[in-house]
Structure formats: C-alpha cells, structure tokens
Amino acid sequence: MSDDLPPVDGRVLPNDARRLAAARQRLIEAIEQERRIHSAWGKNRSPKDYDFSAHIRDLLELWRAEVGPLKAPPEMPGATNYHEAAAALDVFQRAVEKLSDSSPSAPPAGSTVTPPGLDSKRFRAGPDYRDCTWNGERYTFTTTQAACVQALWEERDKGTLELSQQLLLEKAGAESGQLKDVFKKHPAWKKMIVCGSRSGLYKLADPT
C-alpha cells in the first residue's frame, strides 16, 4: 500500500497521515522480525510470545487522529504472536482500503481547474489535483500521483503536451524508477495518463 492515503469523502487527509502509514510499517517490521526469529528456532521450538498491542494501539490512535470523525476505527483483535498480529494488520489494511474506495463528493464550486476550451463537466481538477475528471471519468490520486498529473496538466495548458518520465518522477519526488510503478493498478493508467510519441514520454489522453 502507498504511504499516502487517498481522499476520503471528497476530503484529503492531513499531510501527517504519513505517520499512520509509518505506524503500520513499524508493525509490519515487528511481525517480520518475529517471523524470522521463529524460523531460525526451527520446528521443535515455540516462538516466545511477543506483545504487539503497543503497535496496534499506535495504529488505532493515529487512525483517530488522522481520519477522525470521518469513520470509526476498525475493531482490531488482540495479538500476542506474529500470526495474530498479521491477522490484525490484515483487518487494518482492509479498513484503510475501504476508506480509499469511498466515492468522493463533488469539489466545491470555484475550486476546480479546467483546461482552456474544454467542458468543465468532463475535464476538471481540484486545487491539489488529487481529485480529477478527464474525458468524463473521475479519478482520485495519492499525493505523488497527483504531482505527476499536475505537471502534465499545467504543461499541457502551456502547449507542452508530453513530458519525460524522468521529469515527472523528479517533480513528484517519487522513489519509483518508473512512472508505471507510481500508477500501478490505478484506473487512470493508460486511460488518462498515456504514452507519448516516443519511448519515455507521457501525456494526458487526447480529449474526446
């Protein structure tokens, strides 16, 4: 999962939602460490119970801080070993994915961007480009993805239709080496963000 949480009900979560992702990552690392220790002990020994409750408490406290009144935190089971902790993490991840599946409400009037000469009902973006409509299709993006979309959008308005993969990754501060990894499994890939005229160039899909 991405370190950025997508918009929820039309609202972008605070920037420090990264802390929530970091807490999730700490639990993943703790589970993996316990799994390695257990494997090293071999089949004839039982793993020492490890209390993962502090990690889970971190997740729930950060959920309340970052998601707040938008949605109650998930019911997280106790976890005294890495098997149970992995199951608890599963519950948490499904809850976060459910948030990202929420259908965002329409952006407030006056806060959207529309390319010159195009229908604002079919082509528009929110002020941070995390909520966009292109060719009538609505998409939501993470912060990194939105930075790529914004670069393509703004340069298109200036007359530059295609940008290099390297430039887009730099503008977005992406750690991925390829743009397709930034948009992995995203519905906008190859529909809104498409290949340009040469290898390594990308653009927004032609308006239809």
Compute the average pLDDT of residues 200-206: 96
Say how many domains are in the chain. 2
What range defines the domain where residue 84 resides? Answer: 15-100
Between 73 and 153, residue with greater pLDDT: 153
Domain-located, residue 119:
no
> DSSP E strands: which ranges in the chain?
124-125, 131-134, 137-140, 163-164, 193-195, 201-204
Task: Let me know how many helices (H) and strands (E) the chain has, helices first.
Answer: 6, 6
Per-residue confidence band for 75, with pLDDT thresholds at 50, 70 and 90: confident
Give tens-digit pLDDT for 100-159: 554 444 445 456 888 888 998 899 998 889 889 999 999 998 888 999 999 999 999 999
Side chain identity, residue 72: A
pLDDT of residue 142: 87
Give the lowest-confidence range in 38-52, 66-80, 84-98: 38-52
Domain end call among 47, 65, 100: 100
Higher confidence at residue 28 or residue 151? 151
Residues 131 and 95 in one domain: no
35 lies in the same domain as 76:
yes
Q: Are the C-beta atoms of residues 58 and 104 closer than 8 Å to each other? A: no
Which has the higher per-residue pLDDT, 83 or 141? 141
Does residue 162 lie in a domain region?
yes
Q: What is the pTM of this model?
A: 0.50
Q: Do 180 and 125 touch, CB atoms closer than 8 A?
A: no
152 in any annotated domain: yes
Burial class (CB in 10 A: 0-12, 13-18, 19+), 73: middle
**Three-state SS at 202:** strand
- Give a yes or no: residue 116 inside a domain: no
pLDDT for res 116: 87
Residue 179: exposure state from Cβ atoms within 10 A (0-12, 13-18, ≥19): buried
Predicted pLDDT of residue 135:
95
Do 142 and 185 belong to one domain? yes
* 52 found inside a domain: yes
- pLDDT at position 175: 77
Contact criterion met (CB below 8 Å) for 114 and 124? yes
For 24, 65, 75, 100, the CA distances from 91, given in Å and listed in that order, are 12, 19, 8, 15
Which of the four pLDDT bands, split at 50, 70 and 90, describes residue 57? Answer: confident
Do 32 and 67 share a domain, yes or no? yes
The average pLDDT across 30-47 equals 59
Closest C-alpha among 145, 157, 127 to residue 184: 145
Q: Are residues 66 and 141 in the same domain?
A: no
169: tokens are 């990754």
> Is the same domain home to 133 and 78?
no
Give me the pLDDT at residue 159, please. 92
Q: If you average pLDDT over residues 187-196, what whole number do you get?
A: 96
Whether 109 maps to a domain, the answer reads no
> 156-188, pLDDT tens digit by residue?
999 999 999 999 999 888 877 899 999 988 999
Do the Cβ atoms of 179 and 202 come closer than 8 Å?
yes
- Are residues 96 and 128 both part of a single domain? no
Q: Are residues 80 and 154 in the same domain?
A: no
Last residue of some domain: 100, 115, 138? Answer: 100
Q: Tell me if 135 is assigned to some domain.
A: yes
pLDDT at 104: 46
* Domain-located, residue 2: no
* Mean predicted confidence (pLDDT) in 62-82: 66
Q: Which residues pair with 125 in a beta bridge?
A: 113, 132
Instruction: Provide the pLDDT for residue 49.
Output: 53
- Same domain flag for 89 and 145: no
Per the model's pLDDT, the better-predicted residue between 20 and 139 turns out to be 139
Task: State how far the Cα of 7 lies from the Cα of 3, in Å rounded to an integer.
Answer: 13
CA 175/CA 41 separation, integer angstroms: 36
The verdict on 94 and 135 lying in the same domain is no
